[in-house]
Amino acid sequence: MARAAQAPRAQYDVQRLLAVAVTVFIERGYDGTSMEDLARAAGITKSSIYHHVESKEQLLRLAVDRALEALFAVTEEEGVSQGRAIVRLGYVLGRVVEVLCAELPYVTLLLRVRGNTETERWALERRREFDRFVRGIVVEAAADGDLRADLSPALVERLALGMINSITEWYHPGRVDIGELKATVVTIVGAGLRGAE
């Protein structure tokens, strides 16, 4: 539970510093993290941090930008434009699980952003844009008759993405198999949407 001193081996560049910062941001919250906290975790002084970045907010911006890039990359993949909507939906949701696990700390931070600063408001808007992309596919699936008639597409999108996003609350690499995780999510959502009874 105690945060031990970090190995001060190599010197820092922005990416290494960012990795440390994101870890601390997740542990203590962005607002709850002081530059002094970051300095301690990185094993350097506050001043040294300012050699690499202009501000604390820039660290946040770099982090959420990385997460957003990874998510929007999915919207350009072949799997999102091939085949029936219900199949494409399964593809996208599975890929989001994978991106979330691959870029865990960055996506985790993105999902915790609330909108206090300009950076946070921009991140929230881009997140909503991604959500709308997914919702579009759910709407298509509904039009295809592949969604139970008693389910609202908008609600389904929110609950499905909410389930997936909640993975950041507990996932640790290695403790759960990503394949199983992805399969479980797609099974629950997939069966739930078409579901028999």
State yes or no: residue 151 binds a second copy (CB under 8 A): yes
**In this complex, which beta carbon is closest to a second copy, that of residue 27 or of residue 69?**
27
Extract the tokens encoding 180: 């199983």
CA neighbor of 80 nearest in space, from 147, 145, 125, 130: 130
Residue for token digits 């909108």?
115
Residue for token digits 């799997």?
79
State yes or no: residue 46 binds DNA (CB under 7 A): yes
Residue of 9, 170, 173, 174 that binds a second copy (CB under 8 A) = 170
* CA–CA gap between residue 13 and residue 98 (Å, rounded): 27
Per-residue x/- track, 4-33, a second copy (CB under 8 A):
-----------------------xxxxxx-
**In this complex, which beta carbon is closest to a second copy, that of residue 78 or of residue 169?**
169
Residue 155 identity: L
State yes or no: residue 139 binds a second copy (CB under 8 A): no
**In this complex, which beta carbon is closest to a second copy, that of residue 28 or of residue 46?**
28
* CA–CA gap between residue 91 and residue 97 (Å, rounded): 10
